[in-house]
Amino acid sequence: MTKSVQIYDTTLRDGTQAENFNLSVTDKVRISHKLDDLGIDFIEGGWPGSNPLAVDFFKTMQGQTLKHAKLAAFGSTRLFSNPCEKDKNLQALIDAKTPVITIFGKSWDIHVHDALRIELEDNLRIIEESLAYLKPHAENLFYDAEHFFDGFKKNQDYALATLEKAILGGAECLVLCDTNGGMLPHEVKAIIECVQTFIAGHGDHITLGIHAHNDSETAVANSLLALSLGVKQVQGTMNGYGERCGNANLTSIIPALGLKMGYTAESLKNLDKLYDTAMFVDELANLPHNKYQPYVGRSAFAHKGGIHVSAVKRNPLTYEHVEPEKVGNFRRILISDQAGKSNILHKAKKFGIELDPKSPIAASIVSELKELENQGFQYEGAEASFELLMRRAVGTHATYFTLKGFRAINSKRKMGRPPETEATIRLEVGGHEVHTASMGDGPVNALDKAMRKALTRFYPALEEIELVDYKVRVLTGQHGTGAKVRVLVESKDQYEQWGTVGVSVNIIEASWQALVDSINYKLMRDDQRHAKSS
């Protein structure tokens, strides 16, 4: 018999409570589609009652279609002083027009007194009334029992009474939250078994969920234990982002459910997209990838010890708990030169480029890419740069223009006034030398404008390029303003969207590299489209 589970992602809401984790509305929309591709069942998009960004996000999403995932809006029970129909928070949930609504209420008596400052009875009333009021507006109505485990330990009867009210109000899933993240696995087990006995009398339609925080480093274990006891919904975030030490990490929970525990869910069919999805979230949040992260970390299948390396080559099972390819990751042998080639062939295949493993070209790409990665290049978010590199190596590239030189000048004359920026550029295009200049908002913007000005005369299609995103990452390991930077540029036209990369100690040089790759990619793809259609 297969066991089903609901995967509920709250990266866009609880995840953004993490220090330094901030997402724009555009980021949130892009992440939603990425999570939908992965097959996540529910995507919690934000708290419209407390955050104007969330309102914008839900409005934007009303015009878009998700393949599988259902969007959830999050909010609190109504204020005690308001009737439901006048409560701004509940109205904002309805206005979000999502198929799913999730509200949280207080389970712990001290929170009712200290935070809400109302009587215990009154809290029970607003839980039931808020849910009942929202019921006709939601396909699925979930109840997050905040601080449930702490509340249960201090006042078991009251915590259970809040759940009873949530059932009466119409919640179909009661999500038990370890809000402070303090629970240890053996406690979680005992409490869940108690709750299961309690709700058994309320009919089969009521299910339980788990929402764990990682302050004890046990959020993944607590969630898996809960599921193994029969809990049906698990809430968490990509890469475990969340307030303080984070939420339960879905990138560790999902593969355990699929590869080890025999569950079924849409996302468990797409486990090989997990690595990409995890990287994508780091990239958009502009946070460094945690290489030691289970399953999706760059070190997760990296072998360093000599004994391990030879054993793993004979039989991967000896030192790998799962096959890295199953989660879209790959094995790395850290101290051996033989590592490179299979890694690069793996990447080439992933990007759809045919490459004979035995050709000298493959070997030269291996060594070029190794050198570039040592310099700090990374192609996860820059597939267009990778394709250009491959095509240069196999000799199927065209040269559209050659740089002769550029200058970028910043002049600041007064405190309180921004500097003035001017860029000049000299290019050779098809035998013609072009020398032109532009002002800009900053040195990179000025250079970008000057380059387009120089080239559009020869390649009018370049006007179709829109720069969607520009990201800068300082590479760690070097100190201060002399450190290397990696620039990622995301561009699009009417056909597609593509990413390019540049690396240098000089941010203008790194930006230049990424911009040049973006232009070359556009011209190459236009040529390919033209060749196909003619």
Dihedral sign computed on CA atoms, order 144, 150, 152, 154: negative
Residue number, 306 or 357, with CB nearest to its own copies: 306
Cβ 140 to its own copies shortest distance, Å = 25
Q: Is 511 in the site for its own copies (CB under 8 A)?
A: yes
- Per CB under 8 A, the segment of 79-87, 200-208, 274-282, 313-321 that binds its own copies is 313-321
Cβ 294 to its own copies shortest distance, Å = 4
- The whole-angstrom distance between residue 133's C-alpha and the CA centroid of its chain comes to 33
- Per CB under 8 A, the segment of 82-90, 190-198, 294-302, 456-464 that binds its own copies is 294-302
Q: Which amino acid is at 79?
A: L
Among 5, 485, 519, 523, binds its own copies (CB under 8 A): 485
Site for its own copies in 337-366 (CB under 8 A): none
Site for its own copies in 140-169 (CB under 8 A): 147
Site for its own copies in 9-48 (CB under 8 A): 17-20, 22-27
Residue number, 44 or 243, with CB nearest to its own copies: 243
Q: Give the x/- contact pattern for its own copies in 47-86, rule: CB under 8 A.
A: ---x------------------------------------
Q: Is 105 in the site for its own copies (CB under 8 A)?
A: no
Among 515, 519, 523, 524, binds its own copies (CB under 8 A): 515
Alpha-carbon span 170 to 206, nearest angstrom: 9
Q: Is 435 in the site for its own copies (CB under 8 A)?
A: no
Among 362, 509, 525, 526, binds its own copies (CB under 8 A): 509
Cβ 161 to its own copies shortest distance, Å = 20
CB atoms within 10 A of CB 315: 9
Residue number, 138 or 239, with CB nearest to its own copies: 239
Residue number, 45 or 294, with CB nearest to its own copies: 294
Label residue 344 exposed, middle or buried (CB < 10 Å: 0-12, 13-18, 19+).
Answer: buried
- Per CB under 8 A, the segment of 358-366, 388-396, 466-474, 494-502 that binds its own copies is 466-474
Structure tokens at 29: 């929309």
Q: Is 474 in the site for its own copies (CB under 8 A)?
A: yes
Alpha-carbon span 534 to 374, nearest angstrom: 42
Label residue 356 exposed, middle or buried (CB < 10 Å: 0-12, 13-18, 19+).
Answer: exposed
- The whole-angstrom distance between residue 336's C-alpha and the CA centroid of its chain comes to 32
Cα separation values, 266 from 8, 35, 50, 373, Å = 12, 11, 31, 35
Cβ 387 to its own copies shortest distance, Å = 19
- The whole-angstrom distance between residue 423's C-alpha and the CA centroid of its chain comes to 35
Among 68, 135, 289, 407, binds its own copies (CB under 8 A): 407
Among 68, 120, 182, 391, binds its own copies (CB under 8 A): 182
Q: Is 443 in the site for its own copies (CB under 8 A)?
A: yes
Q: Which residues make Cβ contacts (< 8 Å) with residue 306, sequence separation at least 6?
A: 335
Alpha-carbon span 211 to 103, nearest angstrom: 13
Query: Are β-strands 140-146 and 100-106 bridged in parallel, bridged antiparallel, or unpaired?
Result: parallel
**Concatenated DSSP letters of 144-158:** EEETHHHHHHH-HHH
Q: Is 246 in the site for its own copies (CB under 8 A)?
A: yes
Residue with tokens 């890295």: 324
Alpha-carbon span 286 to 305, nearest angstrom: 32
Q: Is 256 in the site for its own copies (CB under 8 A)?
A: yes
What's the DSSP call for residue 78?
A: P
Helical segments of 315-359, H only: 339-350
Residue number, 404 or 432, with CB nearest to its own copies: 404
CA dihedral (363, 368, 370, 376) in degrees, to 10, reads -160
H/E run at residue 105: strand 100-106
Site for its own copies in 206-235 (CB under 8 A): 214-218, 220-222, 224-225, 228
Alpha-carbon span 133 to 228, nearest angstrom: 33
- 3-class SS of residue 23: coil
Structure tokens at 64: 């878009």
Cβ 184 to its own copies shortest distance, Å = 6
Q: Give the x/- contact pattern for its own copies in 367-386, rule: CB under 8 A.
A: -----------x-xx-----
CB 213 within 8 Å of CB 242: yes
Compute how many residues bind its own copies; rule: CB under 8 A. 131
Q: Is 305 in the site for its own copies (CB under 8 A)?
A: yes
Q: Is 481 in the site for its own copies (CB under 8 A)?
A: yes
Alpha-carbon span 10 to 17, nearest angstrom: 10
Residue number, 256 or 454, with CB nearest to its own copies: 256
Cβ 470 to its own copies shortest distance, Å = 5
- 3-class SS of residue 172: coil
Among 507, 519, 523, 524, binds its own copies (CB under 8 A): 507
- 3-class SS of residue 176: strand
- Per CB under 8 A, the segment of 78-86, 199-207, 241-249, 352-360 that binds its own copies is 241-249
Q: Is 4 in the site for its own copies (CB under 8 A)?
A: no
Residue number, 138 or 333, with CB nearest to its own copies: 333
CB 257 within 8 Å of CB 227: yes
Among 205, 414, 430, 532, binds its own copies (CB under 8 A): 414
Residue number, 205 or 479, with CB nearest to its own copies: 479
